[in-house]
Amino acid sequence: MSGEAMDLRGRKVLVAGGGVFGSRAAAHAKSQGARVLVVDVDEICKARGLCVRDVTEASFDGVGEGEACFVAGEALDSVTRCLDIGAADLIAPCIPGHLAAMAALRWLEERGLSLKPDPDLAMDMLGRMDPDLVLRFDKNEGRIIASHMPEGSTCISVCPQPEDRCRVTGARKEAPMDELLRRAAEGADRSLVISTELVGEGVGCFEKDVLSGFLQELEKEEGGISVALGTSCCCHGIMHAYRLSRP
């Protein structure tokens, strides 16, 4: 994980959501020579103006380097389908919520498995975190939101995300947030913290294969295990605690 923008030339980028952040992701990815698909239920969303044409499904066939196309539909549906068929290289989560977790729940449910919040694992993860870094904790939902940025403070618009110190507060970081969340998840039977890379101002993306590979391993499980799933950049992250079962 790095604060430097990644090389996107020729890569297939699925932008999930076409609002302000989605338009930033799409614009940057296009400028770097990526093949871009923007998916949004709102057919007049901000990012649609960056797209050369509409397509009927989340397929990169016919999308050239430095081009973006628009798909009208629910972003989560396209992301979940992408995990199965491998259409995209990268996913830029630009809709509300923890997209990786939402896609994981739906993908596993389609295969007869269930992920439910695990309050006990959530408490264990919380106990492994520096309380000063925890912005939100919901035991019943099994969710932790953490940040090196204190609540009420605002990140600078273009931040290189240095690993050692916050550019705004000057506070020293014990470690990058993705590493801290991995330490917090050590009590889980299976865990994944997806590290994001910059794909535009204030927008991250992640490798699709990282999530799909983890889900394929979970699909082999009989159930009854604890699972921690998080997404994080160097500075901010979200983690969910689950119990995997087969109904």
Task: Quote the pLDDT of residue 56.
Answer: 86
Report the chain's mean pLDDT, rounded to a whole number. Answer: 90
Give yes or no: residues 89 and 121 share one domain.
no
What is each CA distance from 35 to 8, 67, 108, 138, 238, in whole angstroms? 9, 6, 28, 38, 28
Give yes or no: residues 75 and 134 share one domain.
no
Task: Quote the pLDDT of residue 1.
Answer: 42
- Of residues 167 and 26, more confidence is placed in 26
Give yes or no: residues 238 and 123 share one domain.
yes
Give yes or no: residues 89 and 118 share one domain.
no
Task: Quote the pLDDT of residue 162.
Answer: 61
CA distance 109 to 130: 33
Residue 41 lies in a domain: yes
Give yes or no: residues 60 and 148 share one domain.
no
Provide the pLDDT confidence category of residue 188 given band limits of 50, 70 and 90: very high
Residue 103 lies in a domain: no
Cβ(185)–Cβ(123) below 8 Å: no
Tell me the residue range of the domain where 73 lies.
12-97
Q: Give tens-digit pLDDT for 74-97.
A: 999 999 999 988 789 999 999 999
Provide the pLDDT confidence category of residue 28 given band limits of 50, 70 and 90: very high
Provide the pLDDT confidence category of residue 158 given band limits of 50, 70 and 90: low
Q: Average pLDDT for residues 115-140, to the nearest whole number?
A: 97
Cβ(53)–Cβ(69) below 8 Å: yes
Give yes or no: residues 235 and 123 share one domain.
yes
Residue 231 lies in a domain: yes
- With CA atoms as reference, report the closest residue to 189 among 133, 135, 245, 129: 245
Domain's final residue, options 32, 63, 97: 97
Give yes or no: residues 32 and 147 share one domain.
no
Residue 232 lies in a domain: yes
- Concatenated DSSP letters of 72-90: ES-HHHHHHHHHHH---SE
Give yes or no: residues 193 and 89 share one domain.
no
Give yes or no: residues 93 and 133 share one domain.
no
| Residue percentage of the chain with pLDDT more than 90 | 75
Give yes or no: residues 201 and 130 share one domain.
yes
Give yes or no: residues 120 and 241 share one domain.
yes
Residue 167 lies in a domain: yes
What is each CA distance from 28 to 95, 105, 125, 194, 203, in whole angstroms? 17, 29, 35, 21, 10
**Strand pairing partners for 194?**
231
Domain's final residue, options 63, 97, 131: 97
Q: Average pLDDT for residues 57-62, to the nearest whole number?
A: 88
Give yes or no: residues 69 and 120 share one domain.
no
Residues 6+ apart with CB under 8 A from 48: 18, 38, 40, 70
What is each CA distance from 201 to 148, 154, 157, 212, in whole angstroms? 18, 14, 7, 26
Determine which of 27-31, 44-48, 154-158, 207-211 has the lowest per-residue pLDDT on average. Answer: 154-158
Domain's final residue, options 42, 68, 97: 97
- CATH code: domain of residue 35: 3.40.50.20
Q: Please state the domain count of the chain.
A: 2
